[in-house]
Every structure is written in C-alpha cells, then in structure tokens.
Amino acid sequence: MSVTGGCRCGAVRYELALHHLPPVYCCHCRDCQTWTGAAFSQQAVLRESDFALTAGRPALFELTNPSGSISRQYVCGNCHTRLYNTNSARHGLVVVRAGALDASDALLAVLHIWVKRKQPWLELPEGVPSFEESAPAEAFLNLVMGERR
Ligand SMILES: [Zn+2]
Ligand SMILES: [Zn+2]
C-alpha cells in the first residue's frame, strides 16, 4: 500500500512510500491563513526519498524567509493547488500540504502551532500539543516524524 495525493485538476500526482497516512501538524499563522484561504494549514513532513511525483511537473514559487533560508513552493501550474515545499534550512525533507492527500478525511493532527493566531471559534482537542508560536525544532520533528526521523 502507498499513500497518494494530487492537485484539484489531476495534472500533478504523487506517491508517498509509507504504509499509513503520515501524522500532520496544523499551522494557524497568518501567512498560512492567507496562503490557504482557510483557518489553518495542514502539513506532513516526509523524507525526500519517501516522496515521488507520479504525474505532471509542478510549477515553482521561490521565496526567501526572514531567516535567510530559501523556501521552494511547488504548485500545480494548471489549477494552482499548493502541493508541497522544501526549505534550504531543512535539507532532505519535503513538507506536503496534507489536504491534497487522497485520504485527507482520515488525517490525524498531532501538533498545533501559532495558536495565538487561531480563529477564535475553533476549539482544539485536549491532549494535542500546541504552541503559541512555532514549536522547538526537536519537539517538532519528534511529533511530526516520530520513528521516521
Ligand atoms: Zn492541477
Ligand atoms: Zn503557518
């Protein structure tokens, strides 16, 4: 079994070399709200070697973060669905926009970050770690990657 996903129009498809859906983290920051047009973004962190495009060639949008790292955002060039990104500061990892996974109705959120920007009507479940801003790198990778680290 593998985990698959793709854009809204179907031009770009990908496959993850995993037996189960990866856990996701939710980011409630303003950039994510702007970028998704939604209350928060959902992301899964993958090893680059566990991610493979199976159809299409995504378009690239590159930007430099305030920290100086370069973020490469891959979208479908046809329907403009945001699909995944890489970051020069996190070599070897791919961050997948989990809402574009085919089984996005079965995702499990294991972490919430930037909850100080959270929509006020949204209540987070008890027992799921959450941080006012970003999570410390160690905690972040342990929660979202676990034994895949
Ligand atoms: Zn598309
Ligand atoms: Zn964010």
Residue 57: nearest ligand to its CA? Answer: 1
CA of 91 to the centre of ligand 1 (A): 26
Q: How many residues does the chain have?
A: 149
Neighbours of 124 (CB within 10 A): 15
Q: Which residues pair with 72 in a beta bridge?
A: 62, 86
Cβ pair 36, 13 in contact under 8 A: no
The pLDDT confidence band at residue 1, using thresholds 50, 70 and 90, is low
73-92 confidence digits (pLDDT tens): 999 999 999 999 999 999 99
93-109 confidence digits (pLDDT tens): 999 999 999 999 999 99
Report which of 109, 83, 121 is spatially closest to residue 5, judged by C-alpha positions.
83
CA of 7 to the centre of ligand 1 (A): 4
The pair phi, psi for residue 5, each rounded to 5°, is -165, 175
The percent of residues above 70 in pLDDT, for the chain, comes to: 99
CA of 58 to the centre of ligand 1 (A): 9
Report which of 40, 93, 44, 34 is spatially closest to residue 69, judged by C-alpha positions.
93
Report which of 83, 81, 100, 74 is spatially closest to residue 5, judged by C-alpha positions.
100
